[in-house]
């Protein structure tokens, strides 16, 4: 099993979700995060005092999939999340030792 | 490029102001004999003026602010706030004179009262309140009318465009309309009835909103991605404050603390309640669930619809008007979806349709100090029809022209990126919540 | 299954309304001579009526809304909002007549004023304000009393149950009580003193709340999982608006702008302040920290407790009453935990106990226009005791019967799943914050 | 160690209270002839008193609460809330007498009115309103003045210190100042003009705030880490309520519903609008973006600056005053950064500078019922200068002494850990949002 | 060392926490997340416009444990988080190369 | 590639960020989390009812780096996040199979 973690621009979430469903992904977990990177943040002014905010809002999607789906998922996410401008985000791939579905106790690929 | 330009524009604006000042004869203000001033009437209109101000800020600002996405809440609140500031100044400098100055051919007021010249503490003819007080009470109406429109182009209007649009619309649309109906203009001569602004305030802003929504076009992603209200309790708070202030708006329009004010107060309250109930019931039938936003919307619908009738109808007629208002406005809001334009916060469905309904309802149910069709005076209904249609046409055409002017000068919409980021950061360098 | 049923119910409700209308003689409304109308008195009661409305929405709605969990905030706010709409209509249709119609045997008013028949702009006997204005001022009291109860069954009451309960309770409990004490009923005949509603409003709602809490049972997880208020600034905002509105509630009960109103205003303010202080101090002693919610709760306790006494006591007596209120109500709220019932937002501890204390305090400290025990009139204290106990018994018994009726017809509580999900989504398909 | 001590302190405080009570002759209150009471004037001042109360809570509480970080919002709101409760009691017990009791050597009032002795419902000399009403109207001013100061030491003041500071400051700074200017003291004798409190309220609180900011020192991390407002819509809501209440504050200071009140109402509104506009424009020039917080700050600046002039100037002068206010106060707030002290919520820049500007502007532009320099009376300007400087010096020196006393007794600041955790949890065991 | 990541229903958090403490777990990190899966979301209506919301609120617990604890933890979480209805959630198991306790610099099992 | 996950005290975020930038880290992803551990929570009181809150607010930083940077990063974070008092937090190290930069499709070390 693989755990695919991807950081994307918030307004891309729906697009990416739809694209993943099309290729048969049945579940995912989403977290609101703040990202720091090449994409520069923004300026805020309060009563003449200016703040430079480095962090930009991002969405993190965690996706557990069977190994054979890896390529398909990576391509799909890359395609769906891409705008071509700085800050599109990253995809991280790591191994999973095991998965359990709490409701049934099923393990392995049957559990996702 | 853009910024220096708008700076210039502001400079000119300020210059203009100071000009008016220096020209103005109202540096010091003539003390009024105040002989016929009634302290009770004055107390009530002082309070009513404060109440109507409270409708704009924080009332309307929060009502609208809660309905947008959190990235646009400050930009939306800013619309009401800056319009209150800006239009108030425009009103004292020129707007009041255009609306309530000595009549010129039934269409506008003369510039006799420019810079509040000749507006002092003496009693306003036919009332027991000071002229200055009448002026400031009317000022609040001028401000809220423009602010109502902003709901239709929320989340995408350029801030400089908003400023220019507001000034032009107030001077060239609102003030003349106020003159026609309340300032001794042709509609008043005709005997048209509009107690507190069903035509002057609600039809005008409601249909101006329609034009704005169509000319600016929908928000990016409208229809595709969900755009739920970011803070409904904020909207309910706004609703409550609008309702509270509306007592000053309607009962204050009696210009005194008398039986007429009491009767208008009661009609206003009953219609608000009935509007809230009937919108809720209608929605319950259609979608299977009553919603808080539905009740809030129904309340505002009831209030907008009773506005022109408040002083002319009995409590049971007010109940009917409220029940109709909630249902009709809900229908209008639902149908909007079909028509496809993005009147973001439903100004058309609630104020346009509500105001129109109210003006006609007044022609049917008027029974206090005037008779409507149901009380044996069909002529009144015709007059009301003329009032409603004339206001609508004037507002629609005028708004269209003004939008074109604004578009050619400063441009109407923010860039797609700015819209993506949200008005708060892109227009104001601020975030609402940290 | 459920939905169609409640649709029917609504349809019937609407029909009923229209029936009343068509029967109603108050289509047009008799113009009153208004000869004895005093503009100053009228100005103040117009304002007071608006202030009391503001107590319900947004005041109480936010006070309660901030105390619940975020999944229930809209459902909680909705309670106050819809009760204001619904009870206002019930009041003009029938409630006012039951409470203030010509006395029938000291227990209820006749139906002479149904549909506001005979309620016009003429001066209300013994006052300088229009009859319609007196009616709408009283209307606001009717609405807030029912709304107060909702705090006891927050986060679990079925919406349809709320609607049915409110109508029944208002007609069969509130209106008769108002008649007994203010409408010429037996308690008024006895000389019972309740300036602005310590018994009619606070004892009645407070002990009705106790019955509701016991009959509905605790919220799922009550006692086990923490249920902290989701937004205390919202509750403080509600507190401030309640306080603001309470000036209309108490000082407005003088039904004029005179020395009595001023004296009631001062007593009200002092008691609110003293209540906030003493609750804070009591809590500080017990838990080692003063809390904002404690001060807010103490303020409301002081206000509820001074309500019946406001017009009858001097400022220093008001100070004592306030100091006692904050301490006694805090104690009641703490003891609640021991008794184990889930009066979710402490309606019993604050309004029930506060109102009861206030009625008795009036019997002790009355010194303006009436004498209490401390001013040489022990009889008054006995009368007050009768007033308090009679109100309490009537409210408790009546509420119990009504709850049983509602339970058998539409059912009282939402399903466990719906409660888990929260009222906002399960009852209204809405989310407060996005 | 600490807790028991502060308990003791409270106990003593309570004892003191009861002492005053028992001594107080005002148990029952003398009924006033009320012969000269004017219902209209009374209606307006009843309402105005409620409006000014609304400025403190929820107005100022939310205005400040939105500007701090979310971990301190309850602690900040608590400041305004508890000051309203505490100072109201101090005022009726002793403060009113010190300020408005029979003059003693032009510096303080005698203790004749302690515990409101001799303050009844009879008309207050020279007005048509009850004495009790005048007292409570002034009470609200006493409360808000102390509350304004709290913005300067937000997010770090120890709660016990706040309580002690407030009582001392109110009795020893505010009451004497009120006597000097309004209670028949030496400045009033001199002919100094302060219509509604530019010196008594704004200069005094504004420069007291400066001393507080310097004595307490900056917040941990001030300048290093960003401290953006946690909820700007809350601040805008507070702004709107402050504006709304300010009509009572200024127009109410006419102590009647007459031409003077109307004129003050208009001046107040125009200055608020002009202040909002000019701050926005100034900020737009400097940082390239107009902000919502800027407009809100400008509105408050305009209101603070017009306060002393409201009853003495015409509308166009008010416009000038407002435009100047927004610009000058913005400059002051920007320069603060250079001076390096941490006046956290800009009390100095807005109220101190605004009030000072307003007192001088009155000396220049007064034209209604008094003449300023521009209207041929240079002497008035000198008098105003004396008024402003005397108030400033008295406030600065007095505040410094009081802070030292508080520091030596209970200590001024919370511990570094408590500041890190936030006031809400460390001082009050509460969280604002869950 | 193992990293156990589990997605559960929000109202189960307390129960799961208590159960873990009982078996000697001394720490955990909790994140509010939104989940997409078989469990269907809910409908929202605003002025007659209906939205179908697919994401449901979930709680993510991250748990670092010594290898030998793995079975015990998996059983415990499965038991405590289970309601038997769709949406109970998942457990993911992965390897950790190392752990450091910042305060002391301790590493490995001693650090958790 | 390595994934460094660290839990720190919220007010340490800026310090840690600056320190990481100094040693050449170019990006990170930050999440607000609630932590349970040795550090005890706080007490809350509402109308006389007291709640003991066990969870304390923490910040989670996720950092993807090239293997050779591991030591430097671990030292840096430990130094910057340390206060010496209980609750300073943890650092977890795990392997990553791959990384992709969505904008360019770059993979591996070039992608971070
Ligand atoms: N080394 C990293 N470790 C963890 N997250 C990272 C790293 N670099 C970037 N990110 C995440 O990816 C987002 C986008 O990266 P950024 O450099 O801004 O643009 P791009 O992805 O186009 O290079 C960042 O906001 C951050 O959340
Ligand atoms: N493939 C997946 N990858 C990551 N998270 C998942 C995946 N599938 C499900 N989840 C998470 O588990 C939660 C429950 O899954 P769901 O399919 O709804 O019910 P069940 O766990 O009973 O099968 C989801 O809300 C989501 O947060
Ligand atoms: N076993 C664990 N698994 C995951 N996170 C943990 C674990 N133990 C501690 N944490 C996280 O580290 C934070 C600090 O741990 P704690 O035991 O409180 O102090 P310290 O890090 O000084 O030992 C906790 O709040 C929690 O977020």
> Is B325 in contact with B354 (CB distance < 8 Å)?
yes
| Residues contacting C56, CB < 8 A, separation 6+ | C80, C83, C84, C140, C143, C144, C147
Q: Give the mutation target among E41, E61, E90 for probing the ligand 2 site: most ligand atoms within 8 A of CB.
A: E90
Cα A45 from Cα D198, distance rounded (Å):
29
By residue count, chain A amounts to 112
Mean of the pLDDT values across residues F47-54? 91
**d(C-alpha B23, C-alpha E9), whole Å:** 71
Nearest to A102 among E31, E33, E90 (CB): E90
Q: Which two tokens stand for residue F5?
A: 């996950």
A103 close to ligand 2 (CB < 6 Angstrom): yes
Instruction: Give A47→chain D minimum CA distance, Å.
Output: 6
pLDDT digits (tens, 9 = 90+) for E5-40: 999 999 999 999 999 999 999 999 999 999 999 999
Residue C226 Cα to chain centre, angstroms: 28
- For residues C76-98, b (16+ Cβ closer than 10 Å) or e, as one string? bbbbbbbbbbbbbbbbbbbbbbb
Place of tokens 């509010």: E32
Q: Does A51 touch chain D (CB under 8 A)?
A: yes
| E strands present in C62-145 | 103-104, 108-109
Beta-strand (E) ranges in C283-364? none
DSSP string, C265-294: HHHHHHHHHHHHHHHHHHHHHHHSS--HHH
Peptide bond into C58 cis (omega under 30): yes
Taking the centre of ligand 2 as the mean of its atom positions, its distance from the CA of residue A112, in whole angstroms, is 7
- Which residues are CB-contacts of B252 (< 8 A; sequence separation ≥ 6)? B44, B45, B47, B48, B49, B51, B52, B137, B196, B261
Distances B249 to B261, B367, D240, D241 between C-alpha atoms, Å: 11, 21, 17, 18
The pLDDT, as a whole number, for residue D11 is 47
Distance F26 CA to ligand 1 centre (A): 8
Give the integer Cα–Cα distance in Å for D103 and D180: 9
Q: Enumerate residues 6+ apart whose C-beta is below 8 A from A71.
A: none
Ligand 3 proximity of E62 Cβ (cutoff 6 Å): yes
**Spatial separation of the C-alpha atoms in residues F20 and E9, rounded to whole Å:** 35
Among protein residues, the one whose CA lies closest to atom 7 of ligand 2: A27
Q: What is the pLDDT of residue D78?
A: 98
What kind and span of H or E run contains B406? Answer: helix B378-409
**3-state DSSP helix/strand/coil percent for chain E, to nearest 5?**
30, 40, 30
Give the chain F residue whose CA is nearest to the CA of E94: F94
* Spacing, Cα E93 to ligand 2 middle (Å): 15
Judged by CB atoms closer than 8 Å, whether chains meet at F78 and E112 is answered as no
Q: From C115, which residue of chain B is nearest by alpha-carbon distance? A: B316
**And the tokens for E33?**
């997340």
Asked if this assembly's ipTM is beyond 0.90, the reply is: yes
Residue of minimum CA distance from atom 7 in ligand 1: F27
Please tell me what DSSP assigns to residue C264.
Answer: H
Residue B318 neighbours by CB distance under 10 Å = 30
Pairwise CB contact (< 8 Å): C240 & D58:
yes
Among C152, C140, C148, C128, which Cα is nearest to C44's?
C128
Q: What burial class does residue D4 get, using C-beta atoms within 10 Å of its C-beta: 0-12 exposed, 13-18 middle, 19+ buried? A: exposed
Is the CB of residue A64 below 6 angstroms from any atom belonging to ligand 2? yes
Neighbours of F56 (CB within 10 A): 17
Residue nearest to atom 24 of ligand 2 (CA): E35
Whose structure tokens read 């058309």? B348
Ligand 3, residues E5, E27, E31, E62: which to mutate, most atoms within 8 A of Cβ?
A: E27
Q: What is the pLDDT of residues C292-335, one digit of tens each?
A: 999 999 999 999 999 999 999 999 999 999 999 999 999 999 99
Query: CA of D252: how far to CAs of C10, D42, D100, D247, in Å?
Result: 47, 10, 18, 7
Query: Rounded to whole angstroms, how far apart are CA atoms D328 and E3?
Result: 59
Q: What tens-digit pLDDT sequence spans chain B (434 residues)?
A: 334 444 454 444 444 444 444 444 343 333 334 458 999 999 999 999 999 999 999 999 999 999 999 999 999 999 999 999 999 999 999 999 999 999 999 999 999 999 999 999 999 999 999 999 999 999 999 999 999 999 999 999 999 999 999 999 999 999 999 999 999 999 999 999 999 999 999 999 999 999 999 999 999 999 888 999 999 999 999 999 999 999 999 999 999 999 999 999 999 999 999 999 999 999 999 999 999 999 999 999 999 999 999 999 999 999 999 999 999 999 999 999 888 899 999 999 999 999 999 999 999 999 999 999 999 999 999 999 999 999 999 999 999 999 999 999 999 999 999 999 999 999 999 999 99
End-to-end CA distance of chain E: 10
Chain C contact for B367 (CB, 8 A cutoff)? yes
B58 cis-preceded (ω within 30 degrees of 0): yes
Which residue did the predictor score with more confidence, C14 or A5? A5
Q: Is the CB of E89 under 6 A from ligand 2?
A: yes
Judge contact between A77 and A6, C-beta under 8 A. yes
Q: Tell me the C-alpha distance between B364 and C190, whole Å.
A: 49
Locate B30 and state its tokens. Answer: 């003539």
φ, ψ of residue B413 to 5 degrees: the values are -110, 150
pLDDT band at F48 (very low <50, low <70, confident <90, very high): confident
C4: exposed, middle or buried (C-beta count within 10 Å: 0-12, 13-18, 19+)?
exposed
Query: Which CA distances in Å does C289 have to B224, D5, D417, D424, E35?
Result: 51, 13, 17, 11, 40
Neighbour count for residue B123 (Cβ, 10 Å): 23
Q: Is F101's C-beta closer than 6 angstroms to any atom of ligand 1?
A: yes
First and final C-alpha spacing in chain D? 32
* Residue D31, pLDDT score: 39
Cis peptide before A38 (omega within 30 of 0): no
- Paired sense of beta strands E28-36 and F28-36, if any: antiparallel
Q: Which residue has the tokens 């008005």?
A: B423
Say whether residue F51 is in contact with chain E using an 8 A CB cutoff.
no
Examine chains A and C and say if they touch (3+ CB pairs below 8 A): no
Give the span between the Cα atoms of D53 and D45, in whole angstroms.
12
Q: Is E54 on the interface with B (CB under 8 A)?
A: no
CB distance B291 to C428 below 8 Å: yes
Task: Please state the pTM of the whole predicted model.
Answer: 0.95
Residues of chain A contacting F64 with CB distance shorter than 8 Å: 90, 92
pLDDT bucket at C20, cuts 50 / 70 / 90: very low
d(CA D383, CA B379): 65
For ligand 3, the distance from its centroid to the CA atom of residue A55, given in whole angstroms, is 25
């Amino acid at each position: 099993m693989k755990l695919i973690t991807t950081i994307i621009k918030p307004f891309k979430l729906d697009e990416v979700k739809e694209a993943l469903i099309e290729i048969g992904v049945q579940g995912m977990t989403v977290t609101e995060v703040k990202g720091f990177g090449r994409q520069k943040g923004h300026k805020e002014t309060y009563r003449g005092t200016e703040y430079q905010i480095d962090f930009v809002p991002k969405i993190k999607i965690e996706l557990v999939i069977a190994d054979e789906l890896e390529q398909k998922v990576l391509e799909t996410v890359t395609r769906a999340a891409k705008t071509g401008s700085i800050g599109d985000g990253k995809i991280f791939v790591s191994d999973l030792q095991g998965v359990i579905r709490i409701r049934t106790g099923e393990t392995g690929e049957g559990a996702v | 490029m853009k910024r220096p330009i708008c700076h210039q524009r502001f400079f000119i604006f300020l210059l203009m102001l100071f000009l008016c000042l220096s020209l103005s004869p109202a540096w010091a203000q003539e003390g009024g004999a105040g002989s016929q001033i009634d302290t009770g009437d004055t107390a009530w209109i002082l309070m009513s003026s404060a109440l109507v101000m409270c409708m704009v800020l924080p009332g309307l600002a929060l009502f609208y602010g809660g309905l947008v996405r959190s990235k646009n809440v400050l930009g939306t609140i800013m619309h009401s706030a800056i319009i209150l500031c800006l239009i108030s100044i425009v009103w004292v400098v020129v707007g009041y004179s255009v609306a309530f100055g000595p009549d010129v051919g039934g269409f506008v007021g003369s510039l006799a009262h420019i810079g509040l010249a000749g507006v002092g503490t003496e009693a306003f003819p036919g009332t027991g309140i000071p002229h200055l007080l009448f002026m400031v009470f009317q000022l609040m109406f001028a401000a809220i009318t423009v602010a109502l429109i902003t709901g239709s182009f929320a989340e995408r209007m350029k801030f400089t465009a908003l400023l220019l649009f507001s000034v032009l619309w107030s001077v060239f649309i609102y003030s003349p309309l106020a003159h026609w109906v309340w300032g001794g203009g042709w509609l008043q001569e005709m005997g048209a009835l509009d107690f507190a602004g069903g035509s002057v305030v609600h039809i005008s802003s409601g249909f101006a909103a329609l034009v704005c929504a169509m000319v600016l076009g929908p928000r990016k992603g409208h229809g595709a991605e969900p755009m739920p209200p970011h803070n409904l309790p904020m909207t309910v708070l706004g609703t409550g404050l609008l309702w509270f202030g509306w007592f000053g708006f309607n009962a204050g329009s009696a210009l005194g603390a008398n039986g007429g004010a009491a009767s208008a107060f009661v009609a206003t309250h009953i219609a608000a309640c009935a509007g809230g109930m009937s919108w809720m019931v209608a929605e319950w039938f259609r979608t299977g669930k009553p919603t808080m936003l539905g009740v809030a919307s129904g309340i505002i619908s009831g209030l907008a619809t009773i506005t022109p009738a408040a002083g002319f109808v009995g409590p049971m007629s007010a109940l009917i008007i409220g029940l109709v208002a909630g249902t009709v406005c809900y229908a209008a809001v639902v149908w909007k979806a079909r028509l496809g334009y993005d009147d973001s916060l439903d100004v058309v469905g609630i104020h346009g349709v509500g105001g129109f309904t109210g003006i006609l309802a007044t022609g049917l149910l008027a029974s206090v100090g005037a008779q409507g069709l149901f009380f044996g005076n069909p002529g009144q209904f015709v007059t009301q029809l003329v009032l409603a249609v004339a206001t609508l046409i004037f507002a629609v055409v005028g708004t269209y022209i003004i939008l074109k002017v604004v578009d050619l000068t400063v441009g109407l919409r923010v860039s797609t990126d700015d819209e993506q980021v949200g008005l708060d950061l892109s227009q104001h360098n601020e975030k609402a919540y940290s």
